[in-house]
Amino acid sequence: MVYVHGGYWQELNKDLSAYPVKPLYSAGIVSVIVGYDLAPQVSVEEIVEEVRAAVGWACRLAKGRGSGCVVLSGWSAGAHLVTQVLSTWPTAKAEETALDLVKGVVTFSGVFDLRPLVGTYVNDPLRLTESSAWTLSPLRVVGDLKKTWPFLRLLVTAGQHDSPEFKRQSLQYSQVCGVSGLQAEYVEVEADHFNIVEDLSKEDFSLTQRVLAFFRRCRQEEEAEEA
């Protein structure tokens, strides 16, 4: 599992974001917690490319370890980053890597349309325009996601006590993915924007169990393809 932290592209780090490691380890799943440089020192475009490089590295690591599949995941801005990376992956480069191991994506209270941020304080260090915000929005390129990853499975989650915008965007993204032909499921859990990932450290958290079940489905599909 490759996990990318949130923080509106300008806060937090990988050392504070290792919530799911212990339960996943207990289930035999290796976790890669991704860090990246923060705005305003770098742009959102540069952060996307950093995460793209990290995903490629993690897939090569998984291939070398003999792993059966890779699931990408991210919380809030991290959900934006993993879905934007996959949606804009150059086809030629994809063929040269171990990206065939990517079977699923799990998002936690994600941001999939950056345009609502343009007029807010969040955009001060990001310096997005309406045009660049839409260019960087995973919602815009769901069709490309389907073309490059036709068998990708998605688990799109939000907290019942999340803000209406996070829930709206997550539901909309899952619906658009489903319309495009991808296997996408939307789930709301008893959580707010923060403990939806903080509680992933607990094996008995309902979302932890859903993530583990999601892994099993992705792995079973991989085994079926190999057979």
Assess whether 162 carries a catalytic annotation.
yes
Secondary structure (H, E, C), 178-210: HHHCCEEEEEEECCCCCHHHHHHHCCCCHHHHH
Of 173, 221, 208, nearest to 1 by C-alpha is 208
Structure tokens at 164: 């209406």
Given its phi and psi angles, is residue 76 left (phi above 0), alpha (psi -120 to 50 degrees) or beta?
Answer: left
Which residue in the list 43, 73, 87, 162 is annotated as catalytic? 162
Q: What is the pLDDT of residue 98?
A: 75
Which residue in the list 17, 80, 193, 199 is annotated as catalytic? 193
Which residues share a beta bridge with 105?
72, 154
DSSP-based three-state secondary structure for 147 = helix
Q: What is the mean pLDDT of each run of 10 residues along the chain (227 residues)?
A: 98 95 96 98 98 95 93 98 94 64 97 98 98 98 91 97 98 97 97 98 97 93 63
Q: What share of the chain is helix, strand, coil (3-state, %, to 5)?
A: 50, 15, 35
Assess whether 193 carries a catalytic annotation.
yes
Element (H, E) at 38: none
| Sign of the dihedral through C-alpha 89, 112, 201, 218 | negative
Q: What is the pLDDT of residue 93?
A: 55
pTM (predicted TM-score): 0.95
Longest dimension (CA), the chain: 52
Which residue in the list 76, 87, 109, 170 is annotated as catalytic? 76
